[in-house]
Amino acid sequence: MTEHKKELFKRLEPKEYVTQELISNEEPKFFRDAYRRFKKNKGAHIALFMIIGILFLAAFGPLIGGHVYNEVITQHINLPPRVPFIENLGILNGMRDNVNIYLQKGFNDVYYWFGADGLGRDLWVRVWMGTRISFLVAFVAVLIDVIIGISYGLISGYYGGKVDMVMQRFVEIISGIPNLVVVILLVLVLKPGLQSIIFALMITGWISMSRVVRSQVLKLKELEFVLAARTLGASSFVIILKEILPNIIGQIIVMTMFSIPSAIFYESFLAFVGLGLQPPLASLGVLISTGYQSLLIYPHMVIFPVLVLSLLMLSFNLVADGLRDAFDPKMKGF
């Protein structure tokens, strides 16, 4: 053993040190943590930029490209896609069956970036106009989720007892009917169109959100901090707003994100079946529905709307997944 100086053996008071608590009991930086986790998720990040990109194109796409929405030019019927510069690379060059249709018909300076449809309308413009519809439906879905879903869940869960029982029986019966049936019957009564789709979403879209909110509220309202607030005489409204809502905001965001792709899907599905928007209005579903009949001869009419729809759905799902992992890694995958 090495020799030690005697003065090292004098008594001292305990000193400051880093304890386990000091690290783990840091104030919960909920959103910062969630953001940090989200940032690590490359897929979700790319998807977010993808959504922004598609949103940008939906907003400004129809303004560029040189054609006008619903402008019918009969000579241009069924023209394949042709994009300047890119055409030199051997793709999107106006060729069908090894013949350049544009040059064959003498449209040397005409360009349809996504081609033209069976009435000679520009698909570029129509695809992005259709994407606008998808975003509109997404926006409405979010609104419905937030307004109806959250308040239904909050009220049912917070008041409990008889209120909860009646409200839950109602949900049980509504959710016992397949969504598809509700939507089809409604649209049947209300005549196909955007309004009826929105109304159908209102009836079915909020149920899962209300369930999640209700179960969270049931869990939270027994916790000490809520009991404490109640003992101090805070009103129900204040408790819901100040104590409960901030604690479930993460899950609400995640649920909202998941409702977007399913709403977009429903719109395109209804359009595909013939119950959605009616031509000449364009939505991605309408475009796919009209295009698929000539899929084998003019695949371009389907490929572009399918591509945009799939990318949009994929991106929203990826972002929703990323948010779920970021906010609450333990939440179940649905």
Partner 1 sequence: MEENRILEVKNLQLSFQLDVGTNHVIRDISFHLNRGETLAIVGESGSGKSVTTKAILGLIDDNGAVEEGSILFRLNKNGKEEIVDLLHSTKSFMQKNIRGSKIAIIFQDPMTSLDPTMTIGNQIMESMLEHKLVKSKKEALERTRNLLDLVGIDHPDKRMKQYPHQLSGGMRQRIVIAIALACEPDLLIADEPTTALDVTIQSQILELIKDIQKKTGVAIIFITHDLGVVANVADRVAVMYAGKIVEEGLASEVYYDPRHPYTWGLLSSIPSLDGKEEEILSIPGSPPNLIHPPKGDAFAYRSSYALAIDFEEVPPMFKVSETHFVASWLLHPDAPKVEMPDVLKKRLNQYSHSKEV
Partner 2 sequence: MFKYITRRMFWSIVTLFTILILLFLLLQFLPGTPFNDEKLSEASKALLNAKYGLDQPFFSRFGIYMKNILTEFDFGISLSIQRNWMVKNIVLPRLGISVRIGLQALALGTFMGIILGVLSASKKNTWVDTLATLIAIVGVSIPSYVFALLLSYVFGFKIPIFSIIFNFNDPIKSSILPTIALSMFVMAQVTRFLRTELIEVLGSDYIRLVEAKGVSKFKVIYRHGLRNALISVITILGPLTVTLLTGSLVVEKVYAVPGIGSLLVNGILTNDYNVIVMIAFVYSALYITMNLFVDILYGIIDPRIRVAKGA
Residues of this chain that interact with partner 1 (CB under 8 A) are: 1, 4, 6-23
Q: Which amino acid is at 260?
A: I
> Residue 252 binds what, of partner 2, partner 1, none (CB under 5 to 8 Å, by partner type)?
none
Q: For residues 323 and 44, is the Cβ–Cβ distance under 8 A?
A: yes
Number of Cβ atoms within 10 Å of the Cβ of 26: 9
* Nearer of residues 128 and 272 to partner 2, judged by Cβ: 272
93 SS3 class: strand
Binding site for partner 2 (CB under 8 A): 172-173, 176-181, 184-185, 188-189, 261, 265, 268-269, 272-275, 288, 292, 295-296, 299, 302, 306, 309-310, 313-314, 316-318, 321, 330, 332-334
Q: Which is nearer to partner 2, 135 or 265 (CB)?
A: 265
Q: What's the length of the chain?
A: 334
| Smallest distance from partner 1 to CB 36, Å | 9
Bond from prior residue into 305 cis (ω within 30 degrees of 0): no
State which residue, 159 or 269, has the beta carbon closest to partner 2.
Answer: 269
The alpha-helical segments, DSSP class H, found in 177-299 are: 179-190, 194-204, 207-220, 224-231, 236-238, 245-273, 284-291
Please say which residue, 69 or 292, places its beta carbon nearer to partner 2.
Answer: 292
- Give which of partner 2, partner 1, none residue 334 binds (C-beta under 5 to 8 Å, depending on kind): partner 2
- Considering CB distances under 5 to 8 angstroms, the limit depending on partner class, which of partner 2, partner 1, none binds residue 14? partner 1
Contact partner at residue 181 from partner 1, partner 2, none, CB < 5 to 8 Å by partner kind: partner 2
Which of partner 2, partner 1, none does residue 269 bind (CB under 5 to 8 Å by kind)? partner 2
Q: How far apart are CA 160 and CA 225, in angstroms?
A: 18
Min CB(313)–partner 2 separation in Å = 4
Q: How far is the CB of 93 from partner 2 (least distance, A)?
A: 21
Distance of closest approach, residue 37 Cβ to partner 1, in angstroms: 10
Q: Of the two residues 6 and 332, which places its CB atom closer to partner 1 in the complex?
A: 6
Binding at 275: pick from partner 2, partner 1, none (beta carbon under 5-8 Å per type): partner 2
How far lies 129's CA from each of 135, 137, 138, 280, 319, in Å? 10, 13, 14, 12, 23
Nearer to partner 1 by C-beta: 27 or 109? 27
Quote the least distance from Cβ 173 to partner 2, whole Å. Answer: 5
Tracing tokens 């991106």 back to the chain, one arrives at 315
Q: Which is nearer to partner 1, 18 or 232 (CB)?
A: 18
Which of partner 2, partner 1, none interacts with 310 (beta carbon under 5 to 8 A by kind)? partner 2
Looking up tokens 């649920």, which residue turns up? 255
Nearer to partner 1 among residue 1 and residue 296 (C-beta): 1
Instruction: Please check whether residue 156 is in contact with residue 214, taking contact to mean a CB–CB distance below 8 angstroms.
Output: yes
Distance CA(81)–CA(1), nearest Å, equals 86
| Distance in angstroms between the alpha carbons of the first and the last residue of the chain | 64
Which one, 36 or 105, has the nearer CB to partner 1? 36
Work out what residue 309 binds among partner 1, partner 2, none; the CB cut-off runs from 5 to 8 Å by kind: partner 2
7 binds, among partner 2, partner 1, none (CB under 5 to 8 A by kind): partner 1
> Which three-class secondary structure state does DSSP give residue 309?
helix
- Whether 119 and 77 have beta carbons less than 8 Å apart is answered as yes
CB 34, min distance to partner 1, A: 15
Which residues touch 277 (CB under 8 Å, ≥6 apart)?
A: 133, 192, 193, 194, 197, 267, 271, 283, 285, 286
Residue 295 amino acid letter: L
